[in-house]
Structure 1
Amino acid sequence: MQMQIQKWFQQHKNHIALVSGLLIAGAYGGHWFGLPNGFMNSLLVMASIIGAIPIMLQAYQALKVKVISIDLLVSIAVIGAFIIGEYHESAIVTWLFLFGGFLEQQTLKKTRESIRSLAAMAPQTAVKIVGSDQFETVAVDEIAVGDRVLVRAGAQVPVDGQVVAGTGYVNEASITGEAQLITKSIGAAVYSGSLVDNGTITVVANQVGDDTAFAKIIELVEDAQDSQSTAERFIDRFATYYTPAVLVLAILIGLVTRDFKLAITILVLGCPGALVIGAPVSIVAGIGNGAKNGVLIKGGEVVNTMAGVDTVIFDKTGTLTRGKMTVAQVTSFTADKNAALAIAAAVERQSDHPLAQAIVTYVAQQSLAMTSEITDSQTVKGLGIQAVVGQQTIRIGRAKLLTQAGIVLTQDQMRAIDSAQKAGQSIVLVAIDQQLALLIGVADTLKPDAAEMLTALRQNGVKRLMLLTGDHDQAARNIAQAVGITEYHANLLPAEKVTFVKKAQAQGQTVAFVGDGINDSPSLATADIGIAMGAGTDVAIETSDIVLMQSTLTELVKAKQLARRTARNLRQNIVIAIGTVALLLVGLILGKVQMASGMLVHELSILVVILNAMRLIK
């Protein structure tokens, strides 16, 4: 029965605050209209009692676990004011305290809206393909790995999977934070929660339920918002000792001065409400902002550490580079370059080698028609591929494939090959009927904004940038020079990367490591902050502290800026909270502050720290 009463009062605390406020308004309204003082006092007594009940219940619950809470200080102060007949003080103090709790509750609710909106966007049903041409609408939980689902225009993708039929334009804002439409055709990866804007696609499920990227985003951010930073833990410990200290101070002042009202006023004004709420609301707002913009930050501690990062170490592939082989240059030694490219792509289409696929993709982007008149195609192990197209013999691969066939390379051609190799490119030579026709340089190209974003990192407090890669020295040198990194190390194994991370930490630096592969996981775990690209492996994402959902360096800069702003906002809130209490106590000593006016300022300070934190949401 007792528990039910307590639960009822807690559930209706906001309604109680409203009733208490109306009674106070009625009391002062009656006084203004000249009604007897007894009428005013009776309404204030009712307001005091109604408002004090939920506060005292919370104080009682805290005392049961041996905690002297803010609620206890207010409860004692209200009882004291009631005893000495200061009914307006007791009524206003209880109402302000309840109203402050309401503001705090509503603001924390506001800061979590981005996460709740993500959860609300989770797909609930899916159109499962049964047999060859039958469809069945089922709950998402009923979809298993390997099932095929049909996603029409206007519907959400219910699973993580791969498109096996159809073409559509997909909005992946729920995953990446960017609302741009992306074309998805056969072979493309799609993610649960993304929206098909136009077209119809058939998707085979690779990950379902809690294993999808969308579900992991929600889980990661919810866990992050519930975790505490060092500052929050310190404030909690501080409040644990500070609150009893205020109680003891009030008792001592009451005994020395014999001024009971002064003692209970100290109890009210000494409440560290703004201090207790200031840190968590900043952290929650900052993490919510990151989630809304494709930056998943796994907790308040991560925010503080990221704010202090002064060294960022990069893996190369998939972080500074696109992580996908693309054609970097085409040098033609024939009169009809486009015809030679079309023939080369038609032959390379027979291979699944990454270099071959890069050439096929490049030619498709040039809208060149590929011939299908291919006969006698054969792979020459370790060297390339040879085929007959029409009446022409085509050889595509390394220089040795051509020289073994008696094809002689000129000095100009050798210089072109040497130049491309020095640029860190993989060379593919195309010969048509005993003549070199094309030199195609294929490379993992640099992300277009890499140099600019690294400059932005330096402007945001990062003093040292380093590149660590398992690639050869020339490739590492080219990438490092292109983005302005002066310190790079190549031909490294995963364990050797960890050694460099530890060495930087031993020098007193706060290190962030940015990577995307399984081989990066040891370094991500060792660094003070591990930052994973969202397009990377599950192991890298699970090991990291921050996930960049769109896998861009712009998000990395956002993460650094957001962490610094959040840490600065938290410090501002602490200064506001402590400064308010100090000013109120000084004003009380000088006789400039009374209980009700002091409580009003106290609650306003809570509102100020909340509003200050809400700036991070934008």
Structure 2
Amino acid sequence: MSSLDLAISFPARGVIRLSSLALFGEADGATCRRFLERVFQAEEISEVTITTGDAPSAELRFCPKTWTLQAVANRVASLLRHSSDTNGQAPPNGHAAANGHAAANGHGSTNGHAAKNGHASTNGHAPHAAQDKPARSSKPSLSVTRGRTGAVRYARPAAVASGWQVKLDRPGRLHLKNPVLYRKNDLCQAIERELMSVLGVEKYKTGSITCKVQVDYDPRQLTRDQVVEILDAALAGAEHPTKLDKLDLHLPICTASLPLAAVAQFAFPPLLPVAAAAFAYTSIPTFKEARQVLFVEKRLGVDVLDAIVVVGCLGTMSIFPGAVLCWCLGFGRVLVKKTQDDSKKLLLNAFGKQPRYVWLYRDGIEVQVSLDKLQKGDLIVVNTGEVVPVDGHVVEGMAMIDQHALTGESTPAEKGVGDRVFASTVMVAGKVFVSVETSGSDTASAKISQILNDTAGFKLASQHKGEVMADRAVIPTLAIGAVGMAAMGPAGAVAVLNSDFGTGIRMAAPLAMLSSLALCANKGILVKDGRALELMNEVDTVLFDKTGTLTRERPEVGRVIAGEGFDPDQILGYAAAAERKFHHPIALAILHKAKELGLDLPATDDTQYKVGYGITVHIDGRTVRVGSKRFMEMEGIDLPPEIREALDEAHREGYTMVMVGVDEQLGGAIELQAAVRPEVKEIIAGLRKRGIKHIAIISGDHEAPTKKLAESLGMDRYFAQVLPADKADYVEKLQKEGCKVCFVGDGINDSIALKKANVSISLRGASSIATDTAHIVFLEEGLAKLCELRDIARELDRNVKRSWSMILAPNIACIAGVFTMGFGIMASVATNNVAALAALANGMLPLRKVAQIEAERRHRLEMTQSYAMERNPVHAPAPKADRRGDARGDRRRVLAASA
């Protein structure tokens, strides 16, 4: 390289300029191409700009916050010397792969992905292949931009993808810029929605004015290239606005008008007209909101009072207090919007996080692929510490899985072959192979996230409780203002009107709602309609559907009656052996009881199943029939008197009897009883402590068993022999009696009643979330969350009332001061806005509980995982780039960004 006319300079931070006529005289020449091939083997270099003309040069750009100038210069010098040593030829292993994809033949990979033959590139350099391979040279696969002046810019696709420019690149932190974002907030929101759901993305920030995106990510979960891929996908899938957003300069102008108003009001009165004009301009949003409320929504809202106060300030030339008022209103709007956005993100993050890349098991190899490439039936591998990326069932392995995100369960659940697993749950210990059922937007967690997004958005768009309270305060405030006008003049009237009670509550109430929704989600309670949470505090009657709600779907075995010549364990063993291949509730109940007693089940053959009647099997040379009374009669088996007597008694009690025939006689019978959920009595007692006056059961069962259950549980009323279609009529009957009804059902045949009730709750769990019609769904099947839901609803009501008190007290004191101590407009502005900020802080209090619960859950998860690692160190997670060897023998993992 010494023979070349090469000059080196450093014109700016992060820039190295090389000037050379021989190298850069022709931007498309072979020498320049070889130079680019060598330089782009340095991962430090993000882009190169070639300028031809009288003084040809190349500007090499790198991130000065990530790399030092000395390190980059030494690296570039080393590459150029190597190029000179090889007489300008390409490296012996072929060209550098600069397009971010895994190399399949041993060629270099700039993103550090493993090659399919086992070679890995960990530092961006091309790994050396066999020295006898022929040298090859070609132009790197780069993003190329040609300027109007003739300059040519080359950049890595990972560094500039779809216009992205890397401004900061540190491990775990990436700052990018893209001019396409300029004043297009919709694109920024699309990027935020995408990043919000990506596992491994810890923090993010977008700016439509600066065109920047800042992403903090976990390098163990994502690579830089994958983050850029996600951003590209977000832009590709978003609808690009045709017009630029209007610049929102309201708050900066309000801020600039404050000193102007102060000088004009107190030091230099000739500036008052200018200050008044600035004040009038900053009050335009207030008048727009007042017009919307008064003429479009046709109601008297607090915005109308604000507009009247602005007019009063202009009329009395109280410019500085008016400017402070407009600044406070503008700052409040910005603060509320930011807090609402943060609360929505927190709410959605409870369910939305999913990995974007998964380990697909195929042909003995684990290949990393994008989540959207998965299809139903694919087999994936999930290891300790990873998040389950799909809904599916385990086909091999054992694991402890933290399902808190979906079910609210505080302890991890053990999962084995045949068990279902859900996306967004965390593997605490173990390793499983999962068969994919649904992935991406079809998973339970994705559907829940969409429901929460709709819930939060709808609640913010509707008139919430805070706005109703604010509206009710408008007329009294106007009346007091009229008195102030008569007693104290215009200034007193403006001071009274500005001491309105609605400004703070209409900001604090929706924030309290969003915070409470986030708290519910954190506890495994999915609130699909925000109004239901408010109404839950007003409920005074709870109507339980019996089957599937108070009782489990699976019954439990009661008495086992043995006929002459048989013992109860023998009859139960015969029945369990016959039912072994079936999974309906009766079969599961019998099998569970046999397992509980430790019975060894004999082998069966020639199973015959008659739909609706029973099963015939052969056991130890005997013909065993298991089924109903009718089935026995069809098979010619008579029921002895003691069995008939037990059958009649069971019917009176609402129980079921399963007959067991052995050869040509009735061997015995098994009584099946409805299994009451163990938490029911505790829940009913808890509801009564929380102010529920009436508790009732509704059931399609006979009168006797329903009455017995109601009495045993201490219910106030019961409704028996009710058809599913008629349950809504009983809900309506209770409502006509003046009750506010919460209907609790399993959601299967209760849809009409669920819709009719003031508040409806389903216990069906996460697997059926998309089809559930209830307002609220408990993601962990069972009633355990019912009292917690009531507590959250009551605390929400207390929070709103507390905010209301925090607003009322200082504003009432200010109004009193207007009449007794001569308080003016400035005093009312200060008092009103301080009270509003205090109420705003109060509305966010539930978020502290969310943070506390999350911290406790993480600590518990870390302790459980640490204990699991100590007990079974073989399941400790290996580094992502080298996880090999397990029960299936030696395996290889291949990183394939687009496989």
Q: TM-score, normalised by structure 1?
A: 0.78
Per the alignment, residue 32 of structure 1 pairs with: none
Cα shift at 1:66: 8.1
Supply the distance in 2 between the matched residues of 1:359 and 1:235 (Cα, whole angstroms). 57
Comparing 428-437 with 451-460, greater Cα deviation is found at: 428-437
SS in 2 for 1:323: coil
SS in 2 for 1:180: coil
Cα shift at 1:520: 0.7
Q: After superposition, where does 1:405-444 map in structure 2 within 5 Å? A: 409=640, 411=642, 420-430=650-660, 439-444=669-674
Supply the distance in 1 between the matched residues of 2:738 and 2:293 (Cα, whole angstroms). 41
Q: Which one of 95, 103, 122 corresponds to residue 354 of structure 2?
A: 122
1:62-100 CA-to-partner distances (Å, cap 9, x unmatched) read 47868756765676677789x67x86x678666666665
Cα shift at 1:347: 3.3
Supply the distance in 2 between the matched residues of 1:91 and 1:56 (Cα, whole angstroms). 9
Q: Does 1:563 align with 2:790?
A: no
Per the alignment, residue 522 of structure 1 pairs with: 752
Q: Does 1:59 align with 2:279?
A: no
**1:170–1:522: structure 2 CA closer, same or farther, 3 Å change rule?**
same
Per the alignment, residue 453 of structure 1 pairs with: 683
Supply the distance in 1 between the matched residues of 2:408 and 2:611 (Cα, whole angstroms). 44
Q: Does 1:179 align with 2:419?
A: no
Q: Does 1:324 align with 2:554?
A: yes
Q: Which one of 689, 703, 706 corresponds to residue 476 of structure 1?
A: 706
Instruction: Check conservation: 1:114, 1:291, Cα contact below 8 A.
Output: no
Supply the distance in 2 between the matched residues of 1:198 and 1:596 (Cα, whole angstroms). 62
Unmatched tracts of structure 1, length 5 or more: 28-36
Per the alignment, residue 9 of structure 1 pairs with: 249
Cα shift at 1:115: 0.7
Cα shift at 1:290: 1.6
Instruction: Check conservation: 2:811, 2:831, Cα contact below 8 A.
Output: no
Per the alignment, residue 465 of structure 2 pairs with: 231
Which residue identity is paired with 1:159? V
Supply the distance in 1 between the matched residues of 2:446 and 2:784 (Cα, whole angstroms). 24
Query: Which one has the bigger helix percentage?
Result: 1
Q: Does 1:209 align with 2:440?
A: yes
Cα shift at 1:512: 1.9
Instruction: Check conservation: 1:73, 1:247, Cα contact below 8 A.
Output: no
Supply the distance in 2 between the matched residues of 1:406 and 1:603 (Cα, whole angstroms). 85
**1:478–1:80: structure 2 CA closer, same or farther, 3 Å change rule?**
same
Cα shift at 1:448: 0.4
Supply the distance in 1 between the matched residues of 2:784 and 2:582 (Cα, whole angstroms). 35
Which residue identity is paired with 2:372? D
Supply the distance in 1 between the matched residues of 2:244 and 2:811 (Cα, whole angstroms). 36
Cα shift at 1:101: 5.7
Which residue identity is paired with 2:842? N
Q: Does 1:306 align with 2:546?
A: no
Higher relative contact order (CA 8 A, sep 6+): 1
Instruction: Check conservation: 1:521, 1:540, Cα contact below 8 A.
Output: no
**1:128–1:429: structure 2 CA closer, same or farther, 3 Å change rule?**
same
Per the alignment, residue 599 of structure 1 pairs with: 829
Supply the distance in 2 between the matched residues of 1:383 and 1:369 (Cα, whole angstroms). 26
Q: Does 1:552 align with 2:782?
A: yes
Per the alignment, residue 374 of structure 2 pairs with: 143
Cα shift at 1:158: 2.1
Per the alignment, residue 590 of structure 2 pairs with: 359
Instruction: Check conservation: 1:164, 1:203, Cα contact below 8 A.
Output: yes
Supply the distance in 2 between the matched residues of 1:548 and 1:391 (Cα, whole angstroms). 49
Q: After superposition, where does 1:278-317 map in structure 2 within 5 Å? A: 278-317=508-547
Supply the distance in 1 between the matched residues of 2:250 and 2:378 (Cα, whole angstroms). 47
Q: Which one of 731, 749, 762 corresponds to residue 532 of structure 1?
A: 762
SS in 1 for 2:754: helix
Q: Does 1:163 align with 2:394?
A: yes
Supply the distance in 2 between the matched residues of 1:206 and 1:602 (Cα, whole angstroms). 56
Supply the distance in 1 between the matched residues of 2:773 and 2:669 (Cα, whole angstroms). 41
Per the alignment, residue 370 of structure 1 pairs with: 601
**1:205–1:398: structure 2 CA closer, same or farther, 3 Å change rule?**
same
Cα shift at 1:457: 2.0
Which residue identity is paired with 2:579? E
1:506-553 CA-to-partner distances (Å, cap 9, x unmatched) read 223222221123311111112222211142884895321111221322
Q: Which one of 418, 429, 453 corresponds to residue 198 of structure 1?
A: 429
1:563-589 CA-to-partner distances (Å, cap 9, x unmatched) read 233234323433443443232111122
SS in 1 for 2:761: strand
Which residue identity is paired with 1:234? V
Per the alignment, residue 574 of structure 1 pairs with: 804
Supply the distance in 2 between the matched residues of 1:549 and 1:167 (Cα, whole angstroms). 23
Supply the distance in 1 between the matched residues of 2:736 and 2:826 (Cα, whole angstroms). 54
1:211-248 CA-to-partner distances (Å, cap 9, x unmatched) read 322123222233323423553452465588899x5998
Instruction: Check conservation: 2:470, 2:503, Cα contact below 8 A.
Output: no
**1:113–1:516: structure 2 CA closer, same or farther, 3 Å change rule?**
same
Supply the distance in 2 between the matched residues of 1:181 and 1:105 (Cα, whole angstroms). 37
Instruction: Check conservation: 2:399, 2:429, Cα contact below 8 A.
Output: yes
Q: Does 1:221 align with 2:452?
A: yes
Instruction: Check conservation: 2:637, 2:666, Cα contact below 8 A.
Output: no
Q: Which one of 770, 773, 776 corresponds to residue 543 of structure 1?
A: 773
1:301-353 CA-to-partner distances (Å, cap 9, x unmatched) read 22332222222222222211122234345567889866765554333214455
What is the RMSD of the two structures over their aligned residues, measured on CA atoms?
A: 4.5
Q: After superposition, where does 1:20-35 map in structure 2 within 5 Å? A: none
1:196-215 CA-to-partner distances (Å, cap 9, x unmatched) read 22223333343433332212
1:368-388 CA-to-partner distances (Å, cap 9, x unmatched) read 44344x345545776544444
Supply the distance in 1 between the matched residues of 2:641 and 2:747 (Cα, whole angstroms). 41
**1:61–1:448: structure 2 CA closer, same or farther, 3 Å change rule?**
same
Instruction: Check conservation: 1:80, 1:261, Cα contact below 8 A.
Output: no
SS in 2 for 1:517: coil
Supply the distance in 1 between the matched residues of 2:589 and 2:325 (Cα, whole angstroms). 71
**1:518–1:382: structure 2 CA closer, same or farther, 3 Å change rule?**
closer
Instruction: Check conservation: 1:78, 1:94, Cα contact below 8 A.
Output: no
SS in 1 for 2:657: strand
Comparing 349-358 with 324-333, greater Cα deviation is found at: 324-333
Instruction: Check conservation: 1:532, 1:540, Cα contact below 8 A.
Output: no
Cα shift at 1:498: 1.9
Q: After superposition, where does 1:390-405 map in structure 2 within 5 Å? A: 390=620, 394-398=624-628
SS in 2 for 1:461: coil
Larger radius of gyration: 2
Which residue identity is paired with 2:247? K
Unmatched tracts of structure 2, length 5 or more: 1-182, 184-242, 295-302, 850-899
Supply the distance in 2 between the matched residues of 1:70 and 1:7 (Cα, whole angstroms). 27
Q: TM-score, normalised by structure 2?
A: 0.56
1:417-448 CA-to-partner distances (Å, cap 9, x unmatched) read 55555543333355668897765333341110
